[in-house]
Chains A and B, each alone.
Chain A
Amino acid sequence: MSELNVLEAIRQGIDEMMAADERVFVFGEDVGKRGGVFRVTEGLLDKYGPLRIIDAPLAESVIVGACIGAAMNDTLPIAEIQFADFIAPAFNQIVQEAARIRYRSNGDWNVPMVIRAPYGGGIHGALYHSQSIEATFAHIPGLKVVAPSTPYDAKGLIKSAVEDADPVLFLEHKKTYRLIKGSVPASDYRVPIGLADVKRSGSDLSVFTYGLMLHYCLEAAQTLERAGTSVEVVDLRSLRPLDTATILDSVRKTGKALIVHEDNLTGGFGGEVAALIAEHVFEYLDGPITRLGAPDVPAMPYAKPLEDAFMLNPLKIATAMRTLAAY
């Protein structure tokens, strides 16, 4: 057992997978000597050499596209998109190629690859270093999308992602990288893709969230606890496939659902969770399914007052919790 932050946990997961299987390699901008702009791959070049930790040209489409090809030639690529905001040039390769190859070849070919993408804001990254991209990609059958929020989950999920026979978009919230610490066992464990985790058990209200917002929701839940309201916080962890059973079970128990994400509201992932709840456990509901997200502006601004106004925080979340709990 050791105390790690999120980025160290991801690094350890990658390192252990590379040590265990020589088919695993990393391909992305600045991943070599620099160890990635966030240091996730720091030290790995020295350990595994330039044929397995490869600095890619500055070209996202071929970063993903080449990894797709490599995955079809018996290797296990981990592509790094330096910031999720720059994934757009690779959209075609991810959506039309990686996600559709198994289906379009009737199961003949498959693409076992991971696409790592640091996302999210609250780090003064402005419009183009703060975006949340999950809703766009969680819409795509054939692709898996995970967004861990703790060191334990991050390490367990990166290992599952590398071993998965299909493409996995692995979203790493930048603000959690160094902020969130936790104990990680030394054993070779996995966190399975497709399972949510009840991070806090409660009886009055269910909150569904992921990423940095998980931590804000836990903080807000604690505030409400002091006032006698018991909040259950469910960490979705995996957006596609989505753990519908855990979501519905929680609503059956509490009768109230709040969905919280950093992404803007309209067309956000919260809509999907809300629809599932409305469809399947409507008769258990004791209040309106509520969504909390960013305002519908194109992206997160730079200046602190604007960034603060855009981002959710434990205070805003606690207010929404209270309103719903009182309904």
Chain B
Amino acid sequence: MTLSAEQELLAPITLRSELPAETLREMYHYMALARALDERMWLLNRAGKAPFVISCQGHEAAQVGAAFALQRGKDFTLPYYRGLASVLVMGMTPTEVMLALFARAADPSSGGRQMPAHYGSRRLKIVTQSSPVGTQIAHAAGISLAEKIKGGDAVAWTSFGEGTTSQGDFHEALNLAAVHRLPAIFQCENNEYAISVPIRQQMAVNSVADRALAYGMPGVSVDGTDLLAVYEVTRRAVERARRGDGPTLIEARVVRLTAHSSDDNDRTYRPQRELRSLRQHDPLARFVAYLHDHDLLSEAEAQELRAQIAAEVDAATEAAEQAALPDPETLADHVYGS
């Protein structure tokens, strides 16, 4: 890595964004949409209509900020199961998300074969995900290796939790990407828990970003509840990758506002005090405040947007619930191409 590239990455983030107001409102729309969809999924789960939900609540700013720095239809994304907000930005629709929740045949990610939140769409260059954590980090390195071989300038962006950085694939993939200066961006969404295991029992370093030094790539730790900060860091990482200067490890410090999943109860291991204070770090509230403070979104506009999103979520839920289940006759389809 060149020193200047690294300095550029680590330069302080200006809080006042140069982005057009329209883009900022669009960013807010995606965050709010992700939150509303996520909340609706929990209601459907508690109503017995969806066996499993895993949330992106608290991670929205980290994902929308990063995804806005990528180019839709060109760059590859490999988002993990908390990646709802990122896949929405990359083009997945609320109805498609709900089709997966209800395991319907038309679910674009898997046709109802996988649990919800295992996102994938070849058309959108969202790479199919599995459940064993961390495997996608190696795929991201490989996608960017192929990009280098082909002489293209697309980047591969992948996300994962801090617990997942303990996996061997994290190490192997980052090392490979650094050795070959591959156009990859590794986003760790650090919510300080891996199900119930706190970060202090996961790693002895203070920040996941510290590990970048050991691989020979820049590592940046950013407040992942600050959408604009994440956008700016990712934008620089994308530029660096497209220039051929190599990969970047980004740690986005986020909060997990829900239990690990609908099958978990975080009150059994998270201190009461901590649970009570979580909402003070809500990235959505933080961005609304930013927009209000800068006169970019009036209260009336915000209300209108929320109403519009609620209608969108209603329509998506209804359409998906009515959609057909997979036909048992298709059980043996797509094992091999030929």
Interface residues, chain A, CB within 8 Å of chain B? 25, 27, 51-52, 54, 56-57, 59, 61-62, 64-75, 77, 89, 92-93, 96-97, 100-110, 141-142, 144, 164-166, 241
Contacts and interface: CB of A to CB of B under 8 A. Distances in A.
A69 B138 contact: yes
Contacts of A67: 142
A102 B336 contact: yes
A70 B146 contact: yes
Nearest to A52: B149
Contact of A97 (B114, B139, B141): B139
B71 to A, nearest CB: 15
Given A66-B141, A66-B176, A106-B113, A73 B146 contact: yes
A97 B326 CA distance: 23
B335 A70 contact: no
Contacts of A107: 333-334
Contacts of A74: 146, 150
A66 B173 contact: yes
A159 to B, nearest CB: 15
A72 B139 contact: yes
A189 B132 CA distance: 40
Contacts of B73: none
A142 B337 contact: no
Interface of B: 76, 107-111, 113-114, 118, 120-122, 127-128, 130, 132, 135, 137-150, 156, 168-169, 172-173, 175-176, 179-180, 333-338
Contacts of A144: 336
B142 A110 contact: no
Contact of A66 (B107, B108, B130, B145): B145
Contact of A62 (B107, B147, B150, B169): B169
Contact of A57 (B118, B127, B179): B179
Contacts of B135: 65, 92-93, 96-97
B149 A75 contact: yes
A72 B136 CA distance: 12
B336 A142 contact: yes
Among A56, A57, A72, A110, residue most surrounded by chain B Cβ atoms (within 10 Å): A72
Given A64-B138, A66-B139, A105-B122, 18 more contacts: A25-B149, A57-B172, A57-B175, A61-B169, A66-B138, A66-B176, A69-B139, A69-B141, A69-B142, A71-B142, A77-B142, A77-B146, A96-B135, A104-B114, A108-B120, A109-B127, A142-B336, A166-B336
28 contacts: A57-B176, A57-B179, A59-B175, A62-B169, A62-B173, A65-B135, A65-B137, A69-B141, A70-B142, A70-B145, A70-B146, A70-B149, A89-B168, A92-B169, A93-B138, A102-B335, A103-B334, A103-B335, A106-B107, A106-B110, A107-B333, A108-B108, A108-B121, A109-B127, A141-B335, A142-B336, A144-B336, A166-B336
Contacts of B336: 102, 142, 144, 165-166, 241
The 9 closest A-B pairs by CB, nearest first: A69-B142, A65-B138, A106-B111, A66-B142, A62-B172, A69-B139, A165-B337, A70-B146, A73-B146
